[in-house]
Structure 1
Amino acid sequence: MVGILITWLVTTISFLIISRLPIGVEIDTLGKAAISAAVFGILNALLKPVLGFFTFPFILLSFGLFLFVLNAVIFGLAAWLVTGFRLRWGFWSALLGSLALSIVNSVLFHLLASLRL
């Protein structure tokens, strides 16, 4: 349970960081970032395995690059569901935002792991 809360908090901070980058992702407040992180996590847990199963041929043919598209679709769906979370340039903002979220999450989790030791 603690791990889920830490992941949610790190993702919330990541959403706030990427909303400050010039990639077309806009999030109004800290509360909206927290809701966006929760919705993104739930969508990732529920939809990504299903979408990954149905799009497996595309994933295989593109050597895994289609997974970036799946991440962008889930990111865009989260933006569509949460008011106060907008994508200025549509799919391209979702693609850049999902890539930035992955990078920022990785960096923050690496920093958090180094603090625990």
Structure 2
Amino acid sequence: MATVLVVEDDVLIRDLVAEELDEAGFTVVIAATAEHAMSILEAREDIHLVFTDIDMPGSMDGLKLAAAVRDRWPPVHIIITTGKVRPLEIPANALFIPKPYVGKTVVAAIRTFENMA
């Protein structure tokens, strides 16, 4: 099954979405910061999708992470989320899901990508 990297600094939200994705049959890897997510992406070749919040601590937010993923790992799918206003620009072929969201909505969105069923 496909591997999803969940990048979210809020432990409760991260755990809830990770559990929902796990129950849907995805392999889940978690990161609390964009920097940690980058180190995971550099170390692993099995990440199929990055699900990232925009607002996170550290020098890189979720939009910068998404842009880096698009540049360095073009085949990796991207879903961006935030509880704030939708960003005007997101990377090509990325999806946006506003917070609050339901885990089933995230699963359905992931399954719209090629090879993620």
Which TM-score applies when normalising by structure 1?
A: 0.28
Q: Identify, as 1 or 2, the structure richer in helix.
A: 1
Indicate the structure whose relative CO is greater, using CA pairs within 8 Å and at least 6 residues apart: 1
Q: Identify, as 1 or 2, the structure richer in strand.
A: 2
Larger radius of gyration, structure 1 or 2? 1
